[in-house]
Structure 1
Amino acid sequence: MGQPSPQQTLQVDDRVLDGPHGSLPVRIYRPAEALGPGMVWVHGGGFVEGDIDMAEAHWVSTALAERGITVVSVDYRLAPLPADWVVPGRAVREEGVRFPVAHDEVVFAHAWALGAGLAPGPWALGGASAGGNLAAGAVLELLHEGGPVPAFVFLAYPTVHALQRPHSAELTAALADTPQERRFTPEVIRTMYENYLGPGVDVDTAPIRAIPGLASAEELAGHPRTLVINSERDDLRTSGEAYAEVLSAAGVDVTLLTEPGTFHGHLNNPDEPAAERSIDVVARELLRSAAQQS
């Protein structure tokens, strides 16, 4: 199957798909020496921010493509940005969409990528932070409603719980001197989900495709092999760790890693060595999936 070879020449194309809720922009990254695997990639941003130009989308996609992996980055629709969330440099954005619009767009983009002939595959589905939620939710829909299930799932510091379990003593110690602006309190996380879900949807009883952390081991049966990479100094570590535990209880082949010393969103900081380390792991795991299916 070959080995990742960074710094390949890439072909990068922007395309607008006829998605389930109207136009859906995607960006396609094709390496000159494609090794077979592909990944549909979903950036984060609390469901309210981010686009395919941010480092967590463009740099991640470029880095994977340089290692021989074809990538489709999804520019899904965002939820409104409420006034009480605004900090300097942000503007209130009253327009926006609620669940299941972004979820539907990720499901659609995955199916489109598999059928577009961009790479022989196998194809993976992955996302970071809120994008990890969208990726995980898409996999659950495909498992339960039918459709092309990805061969491999990558979740980077995902948020898949609206209500998180208490921190471990080890995580509490790691967060002790973390700047407040990098913290995610339970209230902030719940508010983020309430904004994403919209009025009338209870975070305790929402569909598992909206809050994958609500899924039981039985509901995760048949889930593809999964890699979870968390940031060490991150309140959301509890979400990725808890999800990995339930996946494991469901009999899923799951690998859980933590990047030492990192804050939430370390793939959005490509100048830090941890970002490159995480990408190297993902590339190796994708190639492993390809080798197992060849």
Structure 2
Amino acid sequence: MTDSEFDIRSLPFPEALRWLRENGEPADPRTDIDTGSLRRRFPRLANVETHDLTIETPYGAQPARAYRDNSADSSGRGLVWVHGGAFIGGYLDMPESNWVALELAARGIPVLAVDYSKCLGDVHYPVPSDDVIAAWEYGLAHSADLLGVGPEALYLGGASAGGALTSGAAARLRDGGGTVPAGLVLVYPVAHPDGAHPGSIPDPAAPHAQLSLNYAGSAEALYDPHVFAGLGSGEGFPRTIVVVCEHDGLRPSGEAFAALLDEGGVDVTLHLEPGADHAHINEPSDPTALPTIEVIAAWMRA
């Protein structure tokens, strides 16, 4: 099997974890997802300026990147954005981070895209959650300089595992007296330890349950509402949009979390993307990806 044919998702979870520990993030075989290629494919992205930086967290420095288009009609709101990757992978140059941020910035929504510690080896919750909270606090402190918006207009969001981390961070901020985001943007989020069956006891043999346990770090932590926000109360969350995909096996988790927020009196919007599957915004050529970007942008401006 050549490097271009290798797909780590084809490995059993223990083998995938071991491979990542030994080799790091596998190369993406796509040749058209770098920023230069994206600008050529989508001329609307031409005026987005980017700035790479690092954010100090309790566990060391994490890379981040600010996106801003001063020629765009400003929404008056900014976003701290966290990519997915099953808690074990993902990086700032993947489309779910880079392309999404470019597209939103071109629509007048400046973005601070951030990275976090991956759950490899002995790393588990709260390490990546602490990283996200550190990035959120950095965004609050530097929102005016980096994004041109005040901290009161800063939103937090993420996709998949990033949705778990950001919803969990929002719950921690709410319960710990921190600054809760002005809004929450969640795309196919994992808000429960078994995203396909919210409310059920996770099957330890199921692949998704293995990912959840690896993130949580213990069977007890699987039921902590700061680890998986869908297990707690919906009260006190900010205005939220939850995007779920028609063909996503984890769709029930997002739908259940939206219902939980609604029961808690939160202004929540549940958007179903027709024809889409999990990770669709990680593929710019997917015809269902851009509609999700448009829905998020319109919701943030509303």
TM-score interval for Structure 1 and Structure 2 normalised by the shorter chain: 0.7 to 0.9
Distance 1:164 1:259 in 2: 17
Select which of 188, 204, 207 maps to 2:207.
188
Count of matched residue pairs = 248
Residue 63 of structure 2 aligns to a residue in which SS?
strand
Q: Please state if 1:56 is matched with 2:75.
A: no
Residue 162 of structure 1 pairs with residue 193 of structure 2: yes
Question: Any gaps of 5 or more consecutive residues in structure 2?
Answer: 1-42, 199-203
Structural mapping, 1:4-15, within 5 Å: 6-7=44-45, 9-15=47-53
Q: Would you say 1:31 and 2:69 are equivalent positions?
A: yes
Matched with 1:268 is 282
Shift of 1:163: 2.9
Deviation at 1:146, TM superposition (A): 1.4
- 1:125 pairs with 2:169: no
Identity of aligned residues (%): 41
Equivalent residue for 2:108, pick from 68, 83, 86: 68
Q: Given the superposition, is the C-alpha separation of residues 32 and 164 from structure 1 closer, same or farther in structure 2, using an over 3 Å criterion?
A: closer
Deviation at 1:33, TM superposition (A): 3.3
Paired residues of 1:164 and 1:186 also in contact (CA < 8 A) = no
Q: Which amino acid aligns with 1:274?
A: T
CA contact (8 A) 2:45 2:102 kept: no
Match for residue 109 of structure 1 among 127, 135, 144: 135
**Conservation of the 8 A alpha-carbon contact between 1:230 and 1:259:** yes
- Corresponding residue to 1:18 among 41, 45, 56: 56
Residue in 1 that maps onto 2:86: 46
Q: Within 5 Å, which residues of 2 pair with 1:84-99?
A: 95=121, 97-99=123-125
Give the number of the structure with larger relative contact order, counting CA–CA contacts within 8 Å between residues 6 or more apart: 1
How large is the RMSD of aligned CA atoms in angstroms?
2.0
Any unmatched runs of 5+ in structure 1?
Answer: 81-94, 168-184, 289-294
Counterpart CA distance in 2 for 1:20 and 1:140 is 19
Secondary structure of the 1:223 match is coil
Counterpart for residue 8 of structure 2:
none
User: What amino acid sits opposite 1:110 in the alignment?
Assistant: W
**Alignment CA distance shift 1:149-1:14 (3 Å):** same
Counterpart of 2:181 in structure 1 is: 150
The amino acid that maps onto 1:253 is: D
Residue identity opposite 1:213 in structure 2 = G
Distance 2:83 2:194 in 1: 22
Q: 1:229 is paired with a residue of what secondary structure? A: strand
Amino acid of the structure 1 residue aligned with 2:54:
V
Alignment TM-score, normalising by the size of structure 1: 0.80
Runs of at least 4 residues off by over 6 Å: none
Change in CA separation of 1:203 and 1:187 when aligned onto 2, cut-off 3 Å: farther
Alpha-carbon distance, 1:29 to partner: 0.6
Aligned to 1:244, the other structure's residue is in SS state helix
CA contact (8 A) 1:163 1:186 kept: no
Deviation at 1:194, TM superposition (A): 0.8
Displacement of 1:232 in angstroms is: 0.9
Q: Which moved more, 1:116-125 or 1:152-161?
A: 116-125
Structure 1 distance, partners of 2:219, 2:162, is 20
Matches of 1:126 and 1:33, distance apart in 2:
24
- Counterparts of 2:271 and 2:285, CA distance in 1: 20
For 2:106 and 2:159, locate their aligned partners in 1 and report how far apart those are by CA, in whole Å: 19
- How far apart are 1:202 and its partner, in Å? 2.1
Measured in 2, the distance between the counterparts of 1:164 and 1:17 equals: 30
